[in-house]
Structure 1
Amino acid sequence: MSIPSQAFEQYTVGFYNLENFFDFQNDQHILDDSFTTLGRNEWNENRYNKKLQKISDAISQIGADYTGNLPAVLGVAEVENKKVLNDLIQQPKLRNHKYSYVHFNSPDERGIDVALLYRTDVFEVLESRPITLLIEDDMGIRDTTRDILYVKGKLAGTTLHIYVNHWPSRRNGSGTTEYKRALAAQQLMEHVYHIDDAGNRRQRLEKDNTFIIIMGDFNDDPENDSITKGILPHGFDNITAPLKNFHRGSLNHKFKWNLFDQIMVSENLHNDIPGDLFVHKADIFDDIMLRQWKGKYRGQPARTFAGGRYAGGFSDHFPVYTVLRRN
C-alpha cells in the first residue's frame, strides 16, 4: 500500500455490517444456539478465527488508498459481545493501531449489537450511551430490536456527534415492517434535537458548528421514506446515496443491489472552512477481495454463510465510508 503525499489531514470514517459475528460459546440469555460448536451452523473456533482474520484484513484497507492509514472511526453491526470486539482489535492487522471500542449490550433477542471502533491516537470519546428504540408490533408486543449507539467525541480536535444504527429488518416484508423503521427515524431525530439546549436545530448547526454523522444499516434504501422523510429534511445530506445504481450497492438480494448501509452528515460538514473537518468523498469499499469471484453470484459480497451453508467469506455486506479532510 502506497501512502499518498498530502498537504492536509485526512481521516476515514466508515460503517461495516459484519454478518452474524458471534463467538462460538453458548450464551443462555440470547438466541445464539445456531452459532455454537454443536449448533446448526457448526460455528467452531476454527471458523471464528478465520472470520476474525478476514474482517480485520478488510477493516485495515477501508479508505487506505486515500488516507494511507486505517479507519479513524468505524461503526459496526451484528457483533455479539465485547469478546468478539476484543479479539478483533487484537488481530495482527489491527493490534498495533491503538484501537478501542464503545459497546453496550442491547435488548435484541439474537444478541447482535452495534459498536464503534476508534483509534485512540486520533479520536477521543467524550460521552456515549445507547438509545433504546421503543417499537411495538401490531399486537402491541414490544419488538426488542437493536439500540442506536450515540458517541460524542473529538476527531483530531473536532467534536463529532456519531450515531450508529441497525434498524429493524424487512424479514416479514418491507411494507409490513416499514412503520418500524419510520419510528426508528423519529426516535433518532428526537435525540438529535436534544444534543444541545432548546432552539432550532438548523440554526444551531450554523451557529455552533455541531457536526453530526449518522451511519448504519438502515434496512432501507436511500430513496425510502424513512430516509427521505425521516432524516434528510432535518438538515442532513446522504453522502452515500449517489453510489447506488443497478450495478452497485452494499448488499445484493435476489440479484438486485441495495444500499442499506449509508452515511448521512449534517450539512455543515460540506463547508470547507479552514481548520474544520469537511467531507471530501464517500464510497463503498467493494474491493475484489470482498467479492464472490466465480459462479452465478460472481461480484456479490463473499458471505460467511450462503443459503444456510458455510461459505467462509467476509460478510454479506460491503463497508461504506467517507474521507474527512482538513486543509
Structure 2
Amino acid sequence: MEFSVVFWNLQNLFDTNSSEIATDLEFIPEKGWTREVLNKKIENLSKPLRTMNNGTPPDLIGFCEIESEKLARDLCENVRSGYYEIAKYIDGSDIRGIDTCLVYSKDIFECIETRSFRINFRYPTRDIFLARLRIKENNAELSVLVNHWPSRRGKKGGFDQNDTEFSRCMVAENCGRIVDDLLKIPFEEIKYLPHDILSDRRYVDAINTRWNKNVLLMGDFNDDPFDKSISKYLRAKNDKEIFIELNETLE
C-alpha cells in the first residue's frame, strides 16, 4: 500500500476574527490582515499541495502554525474538495495560540484515536499531537506524531542555537517516551512475565506484536537531523534500510 505524506509549517495562519492572541500579534483587519488577504494566503498554500505528485494531492498532511479547525477545513477544501478529514482537532497550549494538526484521506484512512501531549516548560509551548489511524485496504495501524518543537530564537531575539537547544532536547525526550509507550510492553505487565519468556511462544508473539507497529514522526523540529535533540535525545537513526522495511510492512 502506497500513500503520499507531507508536512508543512503554515507560518502564522490566523483567522480574521480578532482573537486575543491574533490581536496581540497584529493579525487583525485593522492592520491589513483582511479576509481577502487570508483567502489569498490559503490559495497560495493550497496550490503547491494540489499540483505536487503530478497533480495528485497528498493523502496524509501534517500542519503546524494554524489557529483553528475551521482554517484547516478551509485549506483542505481548497486542496481537494471532499477528500480529506481532520483528525480530531485539539487546541494546544502554545502561548501564541497556534496548533499542530493532521488531515487524512477519507478513502485511505480511518482515525481511531487522537491525543495531545503537553510539554511542561515554565511557559506554554506546542503540544505533541498523536493520531492513530487504520489503513482501510489492509487493516494495518499507523500512529502519527505531529511535532512543532521550540524555536531557535532566544530571549534576546537572536538565533544562537545554544541558547534554546535545551528546550528542543526536552521535547525530543518527551517525543521518544511517547514512541516507547507505543512500542514497548509497560513495566506493570513485564513484572508478571516469566523469567524465561523465550520458552513460551505466546510471550514472544506478544512482544513482537508490540514492536511491529508503524509509527511516523513528522514536524518542524527546528533542528537538523544530526543535531543533539534528534540524534541523542530522540535517538533517531540515519538508516535507509529502516524505511525500506517500513514500506514492506505497510504493503
Given candidates 155, 161, 168, the residue that maps to 2:143 is: 161
Distance 1:49 1:238 in 2: 41
Contact 1:222 1:238 in 2 (8 A): no
Alpha carbons of structure 1 residues 205 and 230: separation in structure 2 relative to 1, 3 Å: farther
* Structure 2 Cα separation of the partners of residues 131 and 205 of structure 1: 26
Match of 1:6 in 2: none
Q: Which residue of 2 aligns with 1:198?
A: 186
Question: How far has the Cα of 1:204 moved from its partner?
Answer: 4.9
Structure 1, residues 87-138: CA drift from partner, whole Å, max 9, x if none? 11222x4113244343211111111111001111101111111010112xxx
1:270-321 residue CA offsets vs partner (Å, 9 max, x unmatched): 32786x32xxxxxxxxxxxxxxxxxxxxxxxxxxxxxxxxxxxxxxxxxxxx
Q: Secondary structure at the match of 1:61?
A: helix
Q: Does 1:120 align with 2:106?
A: yes
| Whole-angstrom CA distance in 1 between matches of 2:82 and 2:178 | 35
Q: Aligned residue pairs: how many?
A: 226
The answer to whether the 8 A contact 2:14-2:22 is kept is no
Query: Residue 232 of structure 1 contacts residue 238 of structure 1 at CA under 8 Å; is this kept in 2?
Result: no
- Would the aligned equivalents of 1:205 and 1:268 in 2 still touch at CA under 8 Å? no
Measure the CA separation in 2 of the matches of 1:76 and 1:132: 17
Which residue is equivalent to 1:183? 170
TM-score by length of 2: 0.81
CA contact (8 A) 2:182 2:210 kept: no
Q: CA deviation at 1:54?
A: 1.6
Match among 123, 131, 138 for residue 143 of structure 1: 123
1:95 maps to 2:81: yes
| Cα-to-partner distance string for 1:62-102 (whole Å, 9 max, x where unaligned) | 4x24xx732111111100111211211222x4113244343
CA contact 2:87–2:111 (8 Å) conserved in 1: no
Unaligned runs of at least 5 residues, structure 1? 1-8, 136-141, 240-266, 278-325
Structure-to-structure mapping, 1:12-23, within 5 angstroms? 12-23=4-15
Higher relative contact order, structure no. (Cα contacts within 8 Å, ≥ 6 residues apart): 1
Shift of 1:208: 4.2
* Cα deviations by residue, 1:31-87 (Å, 9 ceiling, x for unpaired): 654111013xx111111001111212222234x24xx73211111110011121121
Cα 1:178–1:164 change in 2 (3 A) is: same
Work out whether residues 222 and 228 of structure 1, in 8 Å CA contact, stay in contact via their aligned partners in 2: yes
2:111–2:133 contact (8 Å) kept in structure 1: yes
Once the 2 structures are TM-superposed, how far is the Cα of residue 143 of structure 1 from its aligned partner? 2.0
Residue matched to 1:47 = 37
| Structure possessing the higher radius of gyration over alpha carbons | 2
1:59 aligns with 2:46: no
**Aligned-CA RMSD value:** 2.5
Percent of pairs with identical residues: 30
- The TM-score normalised by the length of structure 1 is 0.63
Other structure's SS at 2:233 match: coil
Cα 1:124–1:49 change in 2 (3 A) is same
**Residues 272, 48 of structure 1: alpha-carbon distance in 2 compared, 3 angstrom cutoff:** closer
Looking at structure 1, the residues matched to 114 and 99 of structure 2 have their Cα atoms a distance apart, in angstroms, of: 15
Deviations 1:148-183 (A, max 9, x none): 101111134321111000000011131110000000
Structure 2 counterpart of 1:188, one-letter code: C
Pick the structure with more strand per residue: 1
Cα shift at 1:193: 1.3
**Quick check: 1:77 aligned with 2:64?**
yes
Q: What residue in structure 1 maps to residue 202 of structure 2? A: none
SS at match of 1:90: helix
